[in-house]
Structure 1
């Protein structure tokens, strides 16, 4: 098992699937938060209503891009960037802090448990290989 936190590099298959599911799901919630930010800002008469909407949409698209690029070494890094930008979006929509905490926890869980599952699957594959002919 590879210890430590993966910040750059290509995760193995099951880890990649789990990370993509987390950040892809997060994009939907970010999109909801963007519409909420726009609605609150418009109701309060702020000029930034559409800006908050477009920033949220951009962050949601970035999350989808991160989910799709996990096969690249910088895909995981982009996933971390989405987590950090989600935290800054909590300055606009305070309830996003809970979303960031929940999805950040899921991101870390997917990273560590996915790695563990990949290790177990790899060991299982080695055990089921037929013996080499003599």
Structure 2
């Protein structure tokens, strides 16, 4: 099974990492929207500065929504859409391509490493569950003094 998924449930650690990536990405996208508006405003013949700002703020809001929906199976799919739209925003602000590549690399890294961490945590919980037969709630074994 490939750790890079496009749809489906992720582990607790993975979806938290992915949500963190999207949260940071939203800040960069919102700043990129301000740059796009300023660039368009300096062009005398361009009247699309407000449109760039609205679309950029919408994409930043989509990042935040996607971060909140990471627990859902389609939250990962929405995160991939955000990654693609961030790369597509380079058509307006070329430096957004670098930002998009950076966050895409973080996204894929969090998917791959997060799946490994979740698998290791599940393995440790399963191992600890088998050895807790004689343990109290605090994890210590009962001791009977005679």
How far, CA to CA, are the matches of 1:67 and 1:88 in structure 2? 19
Q: Does the CA-based 8 Å contact 2:3-2:111 persist in structure 1? A: no
Question: CA separation in 2, counterparts of 1:102 and 1:9?
Answer: 24
In the TM superposition, residue 44 of structure 1 has moved relative to its aligned partner by: 1.4
Q: Does 1:80 align with 2:116?
A: no
Q: In 2, distance between residues paired with 1:62 and 1:131?
A: 44
Give the equivalent residue in structure 2 for 1:91.
91
Q: TM-score, normalised by structure 1?
A: 0.94
| Partner deviation per Cα, 1:45-100 (whole Å, 9 max, x = no partner) | 21110000000000000010000001111100000000011111110000000000
Which has the bigger relative contact order, CA under 8 A and spacing at least 6?
A: 1
Aligned match of 1:18: 17
Within a 5 Å distance, the mapping from 1:29-40 to structure 2 comes to 29-40=28-39
The separation in 2 between residues aligned to 1:132 and 1:5, in whole angstroms, is 36
- Secondary structure at the aligned position of 1:59 is classed as helix
Q: Distance in 2 between matches of 1:131 and 1:68?
A: 35
User: Which residues of structure 1 form unaligned runs of 5+?
Assistant: none
Counterparts of 1:4 and 1:121 in 2: how far apart (Å)?
Answer: 16
Query: Which entry has the higher C-alpha Rg, 1 or 2?
Result: 2
In structure 2, how many angstroms separate the alpha carbons of the residues matched to 1:84 and 1:44? 27
Q: TM-score, normalised by structure 2?
A: 0.86
Q: Which residue in 1 is equivalent to 2:137?
A: none
Q: After TM superposition, which residue ranges in structure 1, 4 or more long, deviate above 6 angstroms? A: none
How much is the aligned-residue C-alpha RMSD, in angstroms? 1.2
Consecutive unaligned residues of structure 2, counting only runs of 5 or more, are: 135-146
